[in-house]
Amino acid sequence: MTAKDSFIPDRIAIVFRPRRTLTKPLRKALKFLSTLNATVVVVGEHPLSESDLKKYSIQSIVKWKRVAKYLPDLLVSLGGDGTLLHCLNELKYPQDTLFLGINSGNLGFLTEGSVDEGEGLLKSIVAGDFWIDRRFLLDVQLLRDDKVIWQGYSLNELLIRQEQMARPIKARLFIDKVEMAAIQADGFIVATPTGSTAYALSAGGPIIHPFLNCFEITPVAPHSMNSRSIVVHDRGVASLVLDSKWHCAKIYVDGIGKFNMKTGDVVTVTASPRKVSFVRVKQHHYYKTLRDKLNWNL
């Protein structure tokens, strides 16, 4: 989606990476936001003093619950991919919020530009010179005795791993109700195309273009050479049934621990009808970005 008209958000939220310092480029970006006729809040830990908050007409909000009710039109994340994922998770992956990642982290696959480019990115967005990158989400449910005890969304990946004990996890994998395999491994990853370049890649999973509608299942350090990643189409239903009797398994979503699991628990994953919207100003070439971010040699 390409925007043509100017875009002046009514509600803007800013999130800083923890222990971030307030540099000159960041001050210029904040000064520009203060010229807009918008309510601007900063969430969580931030480097702004009371005089800074007053100078840039910014309100300080400590608790994410208040931000969730306030639901910003634009959220500006000043950090890396982890900061952006944290924002998405805390706001429960809202569809109506546009997310802009300004990178001060490491790889920055999801972010749009560097801190030095922050002011220019914001000016382009306000001028309507941007496009919207809608990303695929997973619907995740944890069932116990046929009852849903937890559910949520994932942009990157779902991970099941041991919490304490150094033992493998045993699980049975079903796809579209067909039992595929009983697998022993150190963990299991179900990743979106967006998350295919994250933990799943480190575990040997395939790289999937983010515009494809599918997801992958990858065992972590499987105890059999026959255990391989598998890609499932966007109408497929994948289930992992935990068979381990001695374990301390836990389910993680986008790096955040969510729920402890018990023997017989079932994790069911499907493609979500929801999408997450990222603001893009630059023209992106995915394979060039992949080459540069992964430092592949020519």
pLDDT tier at 298, thresholds 50, 70, 90: low
Annotation says 176 is catalytic: no
In this predicted structure, the answer to whether residue 131 has a pLDDT above a threshold of 80 is yes
In this predicted structure, the answer to whether residue 5 has a pLDDT above a threshold of 80 is no
Per-residue DSSP letter, 278: E
In this predicted structure, the answer to whether residue 166 has a pLDDT above a threshold of 80 is no
pLDDT tens digits, residue range 78-92?
A: 999 999 999 998 888
Which residue among the candidates 10, 81, 116, 292 is catalytic per the annotation? 81
pLDDT tier at 33, thresholds 50, 70, 90: very high
Q: Between 3.40.190.10, 1.10.10.10, 3.40.50.2300, 2.60.200.30, what CATH number should domain 137-273 receive?
A: 2.60.200.30
Cα-based angle 76, 80, 84 (whole degrees, multiple of 5): 50
In this structure, are residues 134 and 276 in contact, taking their beta carbons and an 8 Å threshold? Answer: yes
In this predicted structure, the answer to whether residue 181 has a pLDDT above a threshold of 90 is yes
pLDDT tier at 3, thresholds 50, 70, 90: low
In this predicted structure, the answer to whether residue 273 has a pLDDT above a threshold of 70 is yes
* pLDDT at residue 165, rounded to an integer: 67
- d(C-alpha 256, C-alpha 78), whole Å: 19
Whole-Å CA distances, 129 to 2, 9, 73, 106, 287 = 8, 14, 17, 26, 23
* pLDDT at residue 35, rounded to an integer: 93
- d(C-alpha 180, C-alpha 173), whole Å: 6
pTM assigned to the model: 0.90
In this predicted structure, the answer to whether residue 139 has a pLDDT above a threshold of 90 is yes
Whole-Å CA distances, 238 to 5, 110, 270 = 42, 26, 7
* pLDDT at residue 30, rounded to an integer: 94
- d(C-alpha 227, C-alpha 33), whole Å: 51
pLDDT tens digits, residue range 185-227?
A: 999 999 999 999 999 999 999 999 999 999 999 999 998 888 8
* pLDDT at residue 4, rounded to an integer: 57
In this predicted structure, the answer to whether residue 245 has a pLDDT above a threshold of 80 is no
- Report which secondary-structure segment, H or E, holds 224: none
Q: What is the dihedral of CA 152, 252, 69, 128, to 10 degrees?
A: -90
Which of 117-131, 157-171, 213-227 shows the lowest mean pLDDT across its residues?
157-171
Of residues 15 and 164, more confidently modeled? 15
Every domain of the chain and the residues it spans: 2-129+281-293, 137-273
In this predicted structure, the answer to whether residue 2 has a pLDDT above a threshold of 70 is no
Q: Name the 3-class secondary structure at 117.
A: helix
Q: Name the 3-class secondary structure at 293.
A: helix
Q: Would you list the DSSP string of 43-105?
A: ESS----HHHHHHTTEEEE--HHHHHHH--SEEEEEE-HHHHHHHHHHTT--SS-EEEEEE-S
Q: What is the mean pLDDT of residues 117-134?
A: 94
Cα-based angle 131, 79, 18 (whole degrees, multiple of 5): 150
* Average pLDDT of every residue of the chain: 90
Question: Tell me, which fold does domain 2-129+281-293 have in CATH?
Answer: Rossmann fold (3.40.50)
Amino acid at 88: L
